[in-house]
Structure 1
Amino acid sequence: MSPLVPLTLFGFLPLVLYLFNRFPGQRAVVVSFVAGYLFLPQAGFLGRFPIVPGLPPYDKISALSYCVLIAILLFDSGRLSSFQPGWIDLPMLTWCLCPIATQMANGLSPISPTTVQIMTWGVPYFIGRIYFNDLAGMRQLAVGIFAGGMVYVPLCLLEMRISPTLHLRLYGYHARVDFAQTMRYGGYRPTVLLEHGLWVGVWMMAATLLGILLWRTAIIKKLWNYPMSWLVPVLIVTFILVKSTGAYLYLAIGIGIWFTSRWLRTALPLLLLSVAISIYLYLGATGELYRIPQVNAFLVASENTDNDRSASVAFRIANEKLLAAKAQQRMIFGWGDSGGNRIYDETGKDISVTDSLWIIAYGLQGVVGLISFTAMLLLPSLGFVFLRYPPSTWSNRKVAPAVGLALILVLYLLDSILNAMTCPVFMLASGGLAGLVLKEPETNRPKSVRVAPPRRTLAQQR
């Protein structure tokens, strides 16, 4: 491990403090989370501080929450008092506190798992609630994600040429222990400084979708003095070269929902996608999915195919079949961190492969965790669209960035069916959308009427 690893993780705090001292709060939060997520090393310090037993690890994700929270307390503490809880916060609250019930039900300590859950998911959501609960804040967050995608463009292109080794060259080791799946379609698939190439694909998908919306709605015309008509095509080409097939599908779905909903003036396509995801999770959690003849036929056919993508999907579904059966043994609250959610061979070796975020949530926190995890992503997006800003308002330049972020949250949940990407930046969007749902739509607010001064008569003018 390079000395740069602890230097960047622990040196991130003074950088965040500088940003809060130098820029307004919203911009400081966006830059801190986007830059930290994209550039901090994939590392954690666990067991290095024996003074506090059971202390959770300080890693890349928790560093974002800890550092930004400290900066808020020092520079913008008044913002904390602006938080007003509402019904839409219940899924996130349940998700964050679920490890307490889970751990206690399994006779385990709840301190570390609950703290990790709160710092990974709850704190970014809370920060989003107090900083991005208006359309201007959502616009700034959307521009920040797009800018993060543009910053990754030259790094992705570089790794396509030299192989995905930037994390190794900079921090002294690969971001993943099982460094694999770097080749796709005859070339390298970049990972840059994220854990996996699939994570890069989802991030670039989100940046590309927002870039297209920002460009086509003329919300911003330039970024860093470069016209959007240049930047967005470059981002699209880079996204294609990232070679993430699933991310291609997500982008197509997102753009399709955007244009279809605006044209038909209904959010039914987004609702149908959300219902489809929920049905899949229900079938997977109950085991009914693996009793469908077509699914079993797909698994058998994929064993004898040379298609890497089909084989990968089949492998994940086959593993989820075993893991779902194990999770059903502790269906309500799950196994916690006891390891009971894993699959072991006759020698006691762990042979589990947990690629999907949904099966991880189900195994660790049971049905309660799975439902709360799903609801914390779907409710803010659907509430924003159906309760506050219907498709008839999506052409409004103030509304469009928030709509793009709402689409990304649902697409992120769709990706969680197959992958296990953790992205606190998306939780900022979830919190911001939740805040917008609890407020009156800004587009319906009466505008101040300017009263013209009375005209002076000819005699008065004289």
Structure 2
Amino acid sequence: MGNTFAYVVLTAWPLLAIYFYRTKNIQFASLLTIIGGFMFLAAKTAVDLPMIPPLGKDTVPIISALFCILLIKNRRIPLFKGLGKIKFLVILYIFIPFITALLNSNAVISGGSYLRGLSYYDGLSLVINQGLLVLPFFIGRALFRTYDEQLIMFKFLVVAGLFYSLLMFYEIRMSPQLHRTFFGYFPHSFIQQYRYGGFRPVVFMGHGLWVSFFTVVVLISSLALWNCKVKIRNFSSTMVSSYLLVVLVFCKSIASLLYGIFAFLLIKKIKPKLQIKVAVGLVLLALLYPSMSIMKLFPHQEILNIARSIDEARAQSLQFRFDNETLLLEHARAKFFFGWGGWGRNRFAGLTTDGRWIITFGQFGILGFLAEFGLLASAVFKTFTAFKVIKSEPEKKLLAAHAVLIGIIMIDQLPNASLSPWLWLISGVLLGRAEEVIRLNRGALYDARYQ
């Protein structure tokens, strides 16, 4: 539970959103409301009302943005219009939890714990939760269609990251204290933030891993602007990207640092056409990971050997995750198609669930996994089609870097569970931009297909 100030900020966020939408353009206001909420609202402080998801960091910014878009800007957010076959993934994503609840009405005894069965009420509540959490995907798709609107998002991310880096360096030096200072409590295990003789920053995001992955997203955004020769205020993109790479090093997360170095080399050294293909490869790897794990085709041991050559402690942590994952996957296969549902039923005797993929697979089965990851992947696949007809070099570079970003977001869902509404927003922006490119170049796309 947060202190009074935590609830004051949470309650004030809709009022701030109204101010943003009255004074800024709709794209900038949406970024401020949704991404700003992730950056500054208290972690795990929420108002838990019946039926609807807890009103907290992940939900209040989305609801605020939706009402402001509808009532202040008088814009509509289409869910299915123009989606084509992707709409079936949306329907699956939203309604599978209800089917899961219907199929899990029996109680489960696991590790001496009694886990109650799910009810119609639980199913309906989960449907509302799914619809709310994926809403930023549709906001991004509807509001960011042009190259200039896509640029607004990348510029916002870089400026936001530069500001946040000041708070991050404070915590790197002084230890993660800002959340406790402002909101009265520390939101996670403090010892997990101690790395390599110092601390990694947490700020207001809840865990050092989420701060480090936020920094990866900001770094990739700066690299995209660097490639497009776009300045950030009066700063050189080269200087900003180099600075953000240093910030990422101080975040002390091996996985995020590897993402950052990989993206740096890919975006700066490889042509956009190949970047798109790499992004598609990353997406396919994420989609195929459950099947590869079940058939024991994924090189877990080889990855562990590489990790041991870098850091034995991190290798042990990775080994722990893989071992848990194996047990959780075996448990999930018992309810392969629709999963076990929530309330810890998917965790099997209290095992830790780290990766987003195994959380989704365990809760909603392989169909739930394909719906969630398929929606993210659809943006990259649509971009692969759009890239064939786009002419402008800066637009190609920005589109390719954006696709790489989504590919890395999906890969991070294998070891971690970083997927939250602001990342859905970024994915929706890519889908919207790709759809607009295709719409404006239908004739050229037809010629490209049948030449």
Q: Do the structures match in fold with TM over 0.5?
A: yes
Question: How far is 1:370 from its partner?
Answer: 0.9
Counterpart mapping for 1:117-196 below 5 A: 117-120=130-133, 122-176=134-188, 178-196=189-207
1:408 to 2:405 alignment: yes
Provide the alpha-carbon RMSD of the alignment.
Answer: 2.8
Distance 1:378 1:263, change over 3 A: closer
Distance 2:151 2:348 in 1: 44
Change (3 A) 1:165 1:92: farther
Separation of aligned partners in 2, 1:152 and 1:174: 18
| CA 1:426–1:264: 2 relative to 1, 3 Å | closer
- What residue number does 1:39 align with? 40
- Distance in 1, matches of 2:303 and 2:426, equals 36
Q: Distance in 1 between matches of 2:272 and 2:432?
A: 27
The one of 263, 279, 287 equivalent to 1:278 is 287
The answer to whether the 8 A contact 2:21-2:72 is kept is: yes
1:376 is aligned to 2:378: no
Pair 1:133–1:255, CA change in 2 (3 A)? same
Aligned ranges 1:219-230 → 2 under 5 Å = 219=230, 221-223=231-233, 225-230=234-239
What is the alpha-carbon distance in structure 2 between the residues aligned to residue 427 and residue 268 of structure 1?
21
How far 1:337 moved relative to its partner?
1.6
Displacement of 1:32: 1.4
Are 2:15 and 1:14 equivalent residues in the alignment?
Answer: yes
CA distance change for structure 1 residues 147 and 325 in 2, over 3 Å: closer, same or farther? same
CA, structure 1 residues 315+370, in 2 after alignment: closer, same or farther (shift >3 Å)?
same
Query: Is the Cα–Cα contact under 8 Å of residues 102 and 334 in structure 1 kept in the other structure?
Result: yes
SS in 2 for 1:336: coil
What is the deviation of 1:68? 0.5
Relative to structure 1, the CA distance from residue 241 to residue 428 in structure 2 (aligned partners, 3 Å threshold; closer, same or farther) is same
- Counterpart check, 1:57 vs 2:58: no
Give the deviation of 1:94 after TM superposition.
1.9
Query: What per-residue deviation string (whole Å, max 9, x for no partner) do you get for residues 304-332 of structure 1?
Result: x9712111111100001111111111111
Separation in structure 2 between the aligned mates of residue 144 and residue 391 of structure 1, nearest angstrom: 27
Asked if 1:336 is matched to 2:347, the reply is no
TM-fit CA distance, 1:334: 0.4
Contact 2:17 2:64 in 1 (8 A): yes
Gaps of 5+ in 2: 106-118, 444-451
Write the deviation string for residues 323-363 of structure 1: whole angstroms up to 9, x where unpaired. 1111111111001125321222xxxxx3x101110000000
Kindly state the Cα deviation for residue 118 of structure 1 after the two structures are TM-superposed. 1.6
Equivalent runs, 1:203-242 vs 2, <5 Å: 203-219=214-230, 221-223=231-233, 225-242=234-251
The match for 1:314 is: 319
Deviates more, 1:60-69 or 1:334-343: 334-343
Q: 2: distance between equivalents of 1:82 and 1:370?
A: 20
Instruction: Measure, in 1, the Cα distance between the counterparts of 2:173 and 2:280.
Output: 41
Q: Give the structure 1 partner of residue 6 of structure 2.
A: 5
With over 3 angstroms needed to count, the CA separation of the structure-2 counterparts of 1:445 and 1:183, relative to structure 1, is same
- Determine helix, strand or coil for the equivalent of 1:413: helix
* Residues 313/266 of structure 1: CA separation in 2 closer, same or farther (3 Å cut): closer
The one-character-per-residue Cα deviations of 1:20-48 (angstroms, maximum 9, x if unpaired) are: 0001111111111221111111024354x
| Aligned-partner residue type, residue 104 of structure 1 | L
Cα deviation code 1:235-281 (max 9, x no counterpart): 22112111111012112332344356517757433333333333323
Distance 1:302 1:237 in 2: 22
Alpha-carbon contact 2:380-2:430 (below 8 Å) kept? yes
Shift of 1:82: 9.8
> One-letter code of the match for 1:232?
S
1:30-79 deviations in Å (ceiling 9; x for gaps):
111221111111024354x4xxx433211100111111111112212234
Percentage of identical aligned residues? 25
Relative distance call for 1:86 and 1:441 in structure 2 (3 A) is: closer
Q: Give the Cα–Cα distance (whole angstroms) in 2 for the partners of residues 129 and 298 of structure 1.
A: 36
Equivalent in the alignment of 2:115:
none
Deviation sequence 1:138-179 (CA, Å, 0-9, x none): 111111111221111111110011101211111011122x33
Checking the alignment, whether the CA contact within 8 Å between 1:205 and 1:250 is kept in structure 2 is yes
> What SS does structure 1 have at the residue aligned with 2:394?
coil
Q: In terms of mean alpha carbon deviation, does 403-412 or 22-31 score higher?
A: 403-412
Work out the CA distance in 2 between the residues paired with 1:435 and 1:144: 18
For 2:212 and 2:329, the matched residues in 1 are separated by 27
Residues 4-13 or 139-148, more deviating = 139-148
Query: Taking structure 1 as reference, are residues 255 and 306 closer, same or farther at Cα in structure 2, changes over 3 Å only?
Result: closer
Q: Is the 8 A contact 1:302 1:314 kept in 2?
A: no
Measure the CA separation in 2 of the matches of 1:205 and 1:34.
Answer: 15
C-alpha distance 92-258 of structure 1, shift in aligned 2 (>3 A) = farther
Aligned residue-pair number: 426
Q: Secondary structure at the match of 1:355?
A: coil
CA drift of 1:299 comes to 7.0
Letter in 2 for 1:354: T
Shift of 1:4: 0.9
In structure 1, what is the Cα distance between the partners aligned to 2:388 and 2:201? 37
For residues 214-240 of structure 1, what are the alpha-carbon distances to aligned partners after superposition, in whole Å with 9 as ceiling and x for unaligned? 023212x242x4443443332221121
Q: Secondary structure at the match of 2:77?
A: helix
1:248 to 220, 245, 257: 257
Secondary structure of 2:225's counterpart equals helix
What is the match of residue 456 of structure 1? none
Q: Where do residues 418-433 of structure 1 align in structure 2 (5 Å cutoff)?
A: 418-433=415-430
